[in-house]
Structure 1
Amino acid sequence: MDRRGFLGLGAAGGGAVFLSGLYGMAWAEGHDDFYFVQLSDSHWGYKGPANPEADSTLRQAVTAVNSLPVRPEFIVFTGDLTHTTDDPAERRRRMTEFKQIVAGLAVREIHFLPGEHDASLDNGAAFRELFGPTHYSFDHKGVHFIALDNVSDPGARIGEAQLAWLKADLSRQASDARIVVLTHRPLFDLAPTWDWATRDGEQAMALLMPYANVTVFYGHIHQEHHHQSGHIAHHSAKSLIFPLPAPGSQEKRAPLPWDPAAPGKGLGFREVEAEAGLADYRITEFPAMKA
């Protein structure tokens, strides 16, 4: 089966998972291309009317990912792994349960990012205990990935220390390097009154702007959204728990009502195609469940 065949199966089959694939269109011709899966905002531990099936959605996603005809080379979770709680013991319990569930994913690597539900109440202490650093970078087949933490600071800032780290990390990259930034909150002011912004995000963007091939994947807003900052594209992932309204479309941010006739409404997955050797990502969105 070649990559085109895999795309056809993906479009026909759907699945309860949110994924971003990064791979070359010439994959079948032997180029060193790849794709990865992105899941976001699973909010393990949530209980409420916005998703009465919250205790099974994450497990459905694990099953769906393991059913993909081509195994992803790695998976990224872009934050809000768990739902917020004031109880430190409960926070760790939820993270432990989440970790046990996603351990069933049949992949070699999983990269985790915190969301504000995971990290803002203890500055990321529990997250670091169970998942490791809240910001880091790694390389995969010619693409440099940067995971930024804009949630551990309760003020929604990246912070001077991490910005200095980002500057140093970028200084080791060529100006035309292929760079993918992973984060939870958007790095631009999407809807600041809804907490859909990063207060010092413009400083991170200023550091990224000199690099010609940068793409940002994030979560937090529980819906597909695409934004352009100059030559830098930002793409948000849908949630694994419930959808949220369009940015600024109403006075208060609140989950969209649960529809028992269409439990997957507002949930979905995506694939992102890239030409081999270039930073040109083509995104295709699919519904999470069959109608």
Structure 2
Amino acid sequence: MKNSMTRALCFLLLTLCSLDTILAQEFKFAFLTDLHVHSDSTLGQVELRLKSLSPQVELLLSGGDNVDIDNLKSADLSAGEQRIKSLKGLFDRTKKPYHMAIGNHDRLPRDLRDGTNDFALFEKAFGQTYYSFDHKGWRFIVLNSVETKDNHYVIGDKQLAWLKDLVEKTGKDQPLVIISHVPFLSVYYPVLEGRYTAADTFTNQKQVFDLFKDHSLKLVLQGHMHLYEEIKVKGVQFITAGAVSGNWWHGAFEGTAPGHLEVDVHGKDFSWSYVK
């Protein structure tokens, strides 16, 4: 009996240690935002960027504005769709898991949008526009922040209900990352133009942020602005991660060189670098 109890105790300890190891695994991921593919040459530049990633990167994330679709004329839409397929092919060939966010330029052109088909080409290639997934103990939440209401970006009611349910079902200690194309927070306009505006944040960002007040939200990754920003609020690190395309493929934008973010996860902590 004593030997059986000892074996059972050892098995329990080993199981607990194994679970802790799973939760505390280290890994590295890359966040690439604002690729703005609009030609074969820009597609080639994205390919070079993907090939330049650190060999330790095991997970790829997109921050949106993957392919410029929203500014195309109807006659050019098929070429835009082909570029989406080509970009997907580049990510497929990395042989790494990847997850895409949608940006405002990934939407159909304005004259073709009817409120129900806005994201049709993105969804056809990459699937849902908002979703979550887990990787080695961390939960990643990808938002669609380019829904609109009264001509402002917003997390819409259906998506918000989904997010509330997801947060309620998420352990309070599980480390979380949010990916949002349009920022929660940005100092773009105050720094560049000396004024505050809601034009380039989504309008109900506080309502969304407050959902996580009792959870372990660690990191919010943002795009859209093409600037590199680090803002820390209430223990949450917000990073607007520049742009792969820089100044829309014309060099640096306001001092931010073309680049991507690489994040090293260490258990429930992390560090990062902007790779030019």
TM-score > 0.5, shorter chain as reference: yes
Are the aligned partners of 2:139 and 2:175 in contact in 1 as well (CA < 8 Å)?
yes
Partner of 1:97: 83
Q: CA RMSD in A?
A: 2.8
Any conservation in 2 of the 1:74–1:107 contact (CA below 8 Å)? no
Alignment map for 1:24-173 (pairs within 5 Å): 32-45=25-38, 55-68=40-53, 70=55, 72-83=57-68, 84-88=70-74, 90-91=76-77, 93-104=79-90, 105-119=93-107, 121=110, 122=113, 123-153=118-148, 155-173=152-170
Give the secondary-structure state (helix, strand or coil) at the position aligned to 1:217: strand
- Tell me the number of residue pairs that the alignment of Structure 1 and Structure 2 aligns: 233
CA contact (8 A) 2:29 2:59 kept: yes
* Corresponding position of 1:271: 262
Please tell me whether Structure 1 or Structure 2 has the larger radius of gyration of its CA atoms.
Answer: 2
Q: List aligned pairs for 1:177-192, cutoff 5 A.
A: 177-188=174-185, 190=187, 191=189
* 1:197 match: 201
Q: 1:204 to 1:237 in 2, by over 3 A?
A: same
**TM-score under structure 2 length normalisation:** 0.74
Q: CA deviation at 1:152?
A: 3.1
Q: In the alignment, is the contact (CA less than 8 A) between 1:189 and 1:198 conserved in 2?
A: no
Give the TM-score normalised by structure 1.
0.71
Offset of 1:199 from its aligned partner? 0.7
Give aligned-pair identity as a percent: 27
Q: Secondary structure of the equivalent of 1:117?
A: helix
After superposition, the Cα gap between the structure-2 partners of 1:174 and 1:259, relative to the gap in structure 1 and judged at 3 Å, is closer
Higher strand share: 2
Where do 5+ consecutive residues of structure 1 fail to align? 1-30, 46-53, 244-254
Cα drift, residue 86 of structure 1: 4.9
Shift of 1:209: 2.0
Separation in 1, partners of 2:218, 2:251: 37
Deviation at 1:265, TM superposition (A): 6.8
How far did residue 196 of structure 1 move? Answer: 1.8
Alignment deviations for residues 184-230 of structure 1 (CA, whole Å, 9 cap, x no partner): 01113644637321111111101022213431011101121011221
Provide the rounded CA distance (Å) in 2 between the counterparts of 1:115 and 1:87. 18
Change (3 A) 1:69 1:286: closer
Supply the distance in 2 between the matched residues of 1:89 and 1:227 (Cα, whole angstroms). 42
Question: Aligned-pair distance for 1:74?
Answer: 2.3
> In the alignment, does 2:230 pair up with 1:241?
no
DSSP 3-state at the match of 2:28 = coil
Paired residues of 1:147 and 1:181 also in contact (CA < 8 A): yes
